[in-house]
A and B are shown apart, each in its own frame.
Chain A
Amino acid sequence: MAMTLAEKIFKSRLRDEPFPGTKVLDIDVVMCHEITTPIAINDLVARGKDRVFNPDKIKVVIDHVTPAKDSKTAQQGKILRDWARRHNITDFFDIGRNGVCHVIFPEKGFIRPGYTVIMGDSHTCTHGAFGAFAAGVGTTDLEVGILKGVCAFREPKTIRINITGTMPEGVYAKDVILRVIRELTVKGATDCVMEFHGSVVKGMSMESRMTLCNMAIEAGGTSGVCMPDEVTADYLWPFIATEYKDRKAALEDFKRWWSDEGCEYVKVIDIDVSHMEPQVTYGYKPDEVKNISEMEGTPVDQVYIGSCTNGRLEDLRVAAQYLKGRQIAPTVRGIVSPATPKIFREADQEGLIKIFMDAGFCVTNPTCGACLGMSNGVLAPGEVCASTTNRNFNGRMGKGGMVHLLSPAVAAATAIEGKIADPRKFRKEGI
């Protein structure tokens, strides 16, 4: 029978079907951060079940508020740190080596095609970019994942999204996913996997594919996925070189996860990007999206470039192309947060950090920070932020604040003008 990628993974990792329609899967990677995991740990301790199913399959990072900003966040870090030590969890990334979870874990090569991945974080869908089934879960599911290495799901249906045409100047993966969410709405993919196909996706780097899959949850999707191909094999090669004869052999192996010809999709969406404009959100929901031409001129107080959506090297390069030799508006606070130490170092070596600083940006250490309004750039009531993050919910970056979601290119142009601006107006500089 023709199967989708998700169906194949469900079949290969099925541990149990306790009731019709409920599939309990073996989990390959359980990822943890300091906001949702400490409560799971405390609960396991209270139940007398302070155990882990396999320390090598558990990956841990302190990323949301780091360095700790107060006693409470320090305590969250401590609980996580002590737990990782007592269970010999060696893939533990603490200050100086830590970065945003959904950026640092792929960077370390922890995700492979066909894997099942869970985390107590809704943007876990990001890792589907590698052809994995990766889903965000709550604290209780995380607890069971830590204890037993399993998680229960209803078998998801799949929506196929074909992205074709030629990417116009000034348009990036972020614009494409905002356009998709605009079409699907914030609940259009609930209980579904969003499969991204088409020539545009094939031509995308792993970074861009992660940007696409990252926001699947904003349409309600369980996971975003891309078919693992040459680009995937190239990205993963440093980590899998001992497992395969050559990259071709890796690719052949990956192909077994591809959705079959004739598999069942609940919906197919075709988007031709050739005439698309940069996209910007205007309201408090990620599906409230407009073309930039309708949003230009909206004043902003802060510009934020970073997060698991757009804090990768590729994103910093794009923004820097627009910012080089220019100054941000005096009315704007510019904040850039490279998502991992590796990205930070590479951005420094390429001269990007200097470009940001010369333009008037503040460069922070790798952290989630302002993205969820916990530190490093919280908004005051009535303030507006142009942000490369993924959520514009009321209060997300600070009570009474307003967030416009947009690409790093639009963020850079907006920083220069002090109001939402079209990057296509600016000449890009070589960096």
Chain B
Amino acid sequence: MKSFGGKVLFLDRSDINTDEIIPARYLTEISKEALKPHMLEDLKLGGFDPKDPKNQEAGVIVTRANFGCGSSREHAPWVFEINDINVVIASSFARIFRQNMFNCGMLAIELSEADIDKLFGFRHAAARIDVDFENNSLTISSGNESSTFHYQIAEFDKALIKAGGWVEFADARY
């Protein structure tokens, strides 16, 4: 199982699509490694610089609604995975992206908009998030301040993460 936690990259926008996460011009690559430098390269978000080395330090993304809409490309979770980001926290996800995350053994966590706002309250501090996978909770912390949130996750999605992804799960069962 992957480890879930790390410094936070805040992306303060809804409807971030998979073309922004990894543009189609890189879909000719057949290795995850080759995608690595192109994470969020076309993201349209004021003040965001895809080349900022801080992005590479992150382990968790916190964002708004409908994250990962658009194309079905699994390259979107892969480009996060290869950059050691295994958790995305949003107020909602597009269906295919969400399933792709779990299918790769990564965590897509949905919180209410109010809770997401609270997470964004930490955006100017050097915040990190740690996930307690067994107990479906996460803690954001910065200096002496910290805050814990509970989230819901489908049993199936949890099982996929534990099984190491959908291929192994399905091949054993069907």
A31 CB to nearest chain B CB (Å)? 12
B170 surroundings in chain A (CB, below 8 A):
144, 147-148, 150
1/0 per position for A386-427, CB-CB distance to B under 8 A? 000001011110010000000000000000000000000000
If A15-B174, A43-B167, A187-B94 touch, whether A36 touches B19 (CB-CB below 8 Å) is: no
Please state if B30 and A76 are interface contacts (CB–CB under 8 Å).
yes
Please state if B20 and A21 are interface contacts (CB–CB under 8 Å).
no
| Residues of B within 8 A of A (CB-CB), count | 44
Please state if A136 and B96 are interface contacts (CB–CB under 8 Å).
yes
Please state if A18 and B159 are interface contacts (CB–CB under 8 Å).
yes
Please state if A186 and B15 are interface contacts (CB–CB under 8 Å).
yes
1/0 per position for A259-300, CB-CB distance to B under 8 A? 000000000000000000000000011000000000000000
B86 CB to nearest chain A CB (Å)? 15
If A19-B154, A394-B44 touch, whether A137 touches B28 (CB-CB below 8 Å) is: no
Partner of B94, one of A20, A79, A220, A391: A220
Task: List B113-165 residues whose CB lies under 8 Å from chain A.
Answer: 154-156, 159, 165
Please state if A137 and B72 are interface contacts (CB–CB under 8 Å).
yes
A18 surroundings in chain B (CB, below 8 A):
156, 159, 173
B71 surroundings in chain A (CB, below 8 A):
121-122, 372, 391
Counting chain A residues whose Cβ lies within 8 A of the other chain, the interface size class is: 35 or more
B27 surroundings in chain A (CB, below 8 A):
35, 64, 372, 374
B97 surroundings in chain A (CB, below 8 A):
138
Please state if A19 and B155 are interface contacts (CB–CB under 8 Å).
yes
B105 nearest in chain A by CB position: A140
1/0 per position for B9-48, CB-CB distance to A under 8 A? 0000011010110011101111000000000001010000
Please state if A38 and B23 are interface contacts (CB–CB under 8 Å).
no
A22 surroundings in chain B (CB, below 8 A):
154-156
A87 CB to nearest chain B CB (Å)? 17
Decide yes or no whether A195 CB sits under 8 A from chain B: no
A141 surroundings in chain B (CB, below 8 A):
99-100, 103, 166
Decide yes or no whether A85 CB sits under 8 A from chain B: no
Please state if A190 and B95 are interface contacts (CB–CB under 8 Å).
yes
B70 CB to nearest chain A CB (Å)? 6
B148 CB to nearest chain A CB (Å)? 26
Decide yes or no whether B58 CB sits under 8 A from chain A: no
A36 and B23 alpha carbons, distance in the complex (Å): 14
Please state if B166 and A152 are interface contacts (CB–CB under 8 Å).
yes
Decide yes or no whether A301 CB sits under 8 A from chain B: no
A122 surroundings in chain B (CB, below 8 A):
70-72, 96
Decide yes or no whether A256 CB sits under 8 A from chain B: no
B155 CB to nearest chain A CB (Å)? 4
Decide yes or no whether B55 CB sits under 8 A from chain A: no
B159 surroundings in chain A (CB, below 8 A):
18-19
Please state if A393 and B19 are interface contacts (CB–CB under 8 Å).
yes
Please state if A140 and B104 are interface contacts (CB–CB under 8 Å).
yes
Please state if B156 and A21 are interface contacts (CB–CB under 8 Å).
yes
Partner of A19, one of B17, B70, B156, B174: B156
If A47-B167, A395-B20 touch, whether A220 touches B66 (CB-CB below 8 Å) is: yes
Decide yes or no whether A143 CB sits under 8 A from chain B: yes
A340 CB to nearest chain B CB (Å)? 22
Decide yes or no whether A16 CB sits under 8 A from chain B: yes
A372 surroundings in chain B (CB, below 8 A):
24, 27, 71
Partner of B74, one of A24, A139, A285: A139
A24 and B166 alpha carbons, distance in the complex (Å): 12
1/0 per position for B52-83, CB-CB distance to A under 8 A? 00000000000001100111111001000000
A36 surroundings in chain B (CB, below 8 A):
72-74
Please state if B15 and A399 are interface contacts (CB–CB under 8 Å).
no
B155 surroundings in chain A (CB, below 8 A):
19-22
If A72-B28, A72-B29 touch, whether A49 touches B72 (CB-CB below 8 Å) is: no
Partner of B30, one of A20, A75, A138: A75
18 more contacts with CB within 8 A, not counting A43-B167, A187-B14, A190-B66, are A20-B155, A35-B28, A39-B74, A73-B28, A75-B30, A122-B70, A138-B97, A138-B99, A141-B100, A152-B166, A187-B65, A190-B94, A190-B95, A372-B71, A373-B24, A374-B27, A395-B23, A395-B42
Footprint of A on B, CB under 8 Å?
Answer: 14-15, 17, 19-20, 23-25, 27-30, 42, 44, 65-66, 69-74, 77, 92-97, 99-100, 103-104, 154-156, 159, 165-167, 170-171, 173-174
11 A/B residue pairs, CB under 8 Å, sorted by A: A18-B156, A35-B73, A64-B27, A137-B99, A138-B73, A141-B99, A144-B170, A186-B66, A372-B24, A394-B42, A395-B20
Footprint of B on A, CB under 8 Å?
Answer: 15-16, 18-22, 24, 35-36, 38-39, 42-44, 47, 49, 64-65, 70, 72-73, 75-76, 79, 120-122, 124, 136-141, 143-144, 147-148, 150, 152, 154, 186-187, 190-191, 220, 222, 284-285, 372-374, 391, 393-396, 399
